[in-house]
Chains A and B, each alone.
Chain A
Amino acid sequence: MSSPTRVGRYRLIRNVILAWMTAVILAAFLIDIPRINILEHTARNLFFHVPMWFTMMSAVLVSAVHSVQYLRRESPLSDIRALQAARVGFAFGVLGLITGIAWAKFTWYVGTDVWWNFDPRQTMAALQLVIYGAYFVLRTAFDDPERRARVSAAYNLFAALTVPFLLYVVPRQLTSLHPGADGNPAFSDITAPEMRLVFYPAVIGFIGLFWILYTQRVRLAAIRLRLAGDAES
């Protein structure tokens, strides 16, 4: 990242993403959306909650790919990438969970005291967050950076093996209120066309935001690694 043209290109992409996100957020609050009973203006959460989940899933994928890369090549940079993707993905996951809980409370569970009701997708998302929590705790238990990198990459991949089972197990025991699940109408049938004009750019914008945060953190950790010999010191 040292040559001036690469830095310039990085800054250009970053600024485009930030301008794009600003436009998305303004549009998300200002466009005219159909008013549906109970849902009302909470429907605008579609522009935040759903892209956050897409972003988290992308981050999980990025993290797992770099864990595999680490086990194959043992490059410290792969370990940094796997960790930072997990950290930024975790942050998006927490935000997605909070926006989801608040949304459900005032629509699905309106008039009840329910905040949390093991919805399949909610359960799987919470599980992925717990796995990353364990992954972060595991990393702090090592002194030797090389051993920490190798063992935590193995744990990251081992935990990722167990997640797909939930795709099969959870929906059998819990019914979902999410669109497109359990015979609920699919996203494309219930969403007004004008909302999609903001939704798809929001997905791109949030993933772009992930990319900014992720690359910045990776570069910071790489500098730490070069200066101190350990990215987490």
Chain B
Amino acid sequence: MRHWLTGTWSVLAKDLQLEFRTRYALNLLLMFVVTSVFVVALGIGRGAVTPGVKAGLLWIVVFFSASIGLGRSFVSEEEAGTSLILRMNVRGSMVYVGKLAFNYLLLLAVDLVATLSFSLLLELDVARAGLLALVLAVGSLGLAGATTLLSAIIARAANRGPLLPVLAFPTLFPLLMTVVPASLAALEGGGAWDAAAGDLRVMIAFAGTVITGSVLLFDYIWED
């Protein structure tokens, strides 16, 4: 167990170190979030937008950011030719969980910036900030779990292209259908925690299932 944690941590630490050197992924993601929130705000115009639409748009921005920004995590290893070194030094599950942790941190930054720019540009009135933060944190865990495995899949493909959204969105439907109503409950207040309890349970179960399944399937994708 201790050995496994050290291996996982070394994968995460390596990614963090590389990221702090260039800040490529972080800058790319944050620029994507900010520009797409601008696109949403300008596209909607000056009409009144209901909280339900705002919750949906917030998650659409997060989903697209994840499917665009997190796709690089394994592709960059293939491009640099370093995946063989990873394969030799650590087990597949360590690589998956280390990359998942890194992607999750990136996604939390995305959540923060998306929520802030939504409240700035689209007047996002949050009645239950704690609930919204929890929904974003748990929802993003499932999102990161799925996109990490799928980005490992596209890194193995010969024609990568914009494959990740195509692969990811069908598997994320159940997540989208729970995070949006739960976020809406957080925006509207009232008995929000009770209203979101069922959705939160599904989100936790989804994250658990996706991550467990990914750990089991990852070796088949990762090893040659």
Contacts and interface: CB of A to CB of B under 8 A. Distances in A.
Interface in B167-224: 167, 169-174, 177-178, 181, 198, 202, 205-206, 209-210, 213-214, 217, 220-221, 224
B9 to A, nearest CB: 26
B163 interface: yes
B177 A158 contact: no
B159 A162 contact: no
Contacts of A133: 170
A170 B178 CA distance: 9
Nearest to A132: B170
Contacts of B159: 140-141
17 contacts: A131-B170, A141-B160, A143-B158, A151-B153, A151-B220, A154-B220, A155-B150, A157-B217, A158-B217, A159-B170, A161-B210, A162-B146, A162-B209, A165-B205, A168-B202, A169-B174, A173-B181
B171 A151 contact: no
Given A71-B220, A134-B170, A154-B217, A147 B202 contact: no
Contacts, number: 91
Interface of B: 146, 149-150, 153-154, 156-161, 163, 166-167, 169-174, 177-178, 181, 198, 202, 205-206, 209-210, 213-214, 217, 220-221, 224
B202 A142 contact: no
B156 A147 contact: yes
A178 interface: no
B169 to A, nearest CB: 8
Nearest to B214: A158
Given A141-B163, A150-B221, A158 B171 contact: yes
B156 to A, nearest CB: 5
Nearest to B149: A158
A172 B196 CA distance: 12
Contacts of B206: 162, 165
Contacts of A131: 170-171
Contacts of B221: 150-151, 154
Interface in A118-176: 127, 130-131, 133-134, 137-138, 140-144, 147, 150-151, 153-155, 157-159, 161-162, 165-166, 168-170, 172-173
Contact of A130 (B150, B160, B170, B224): B170
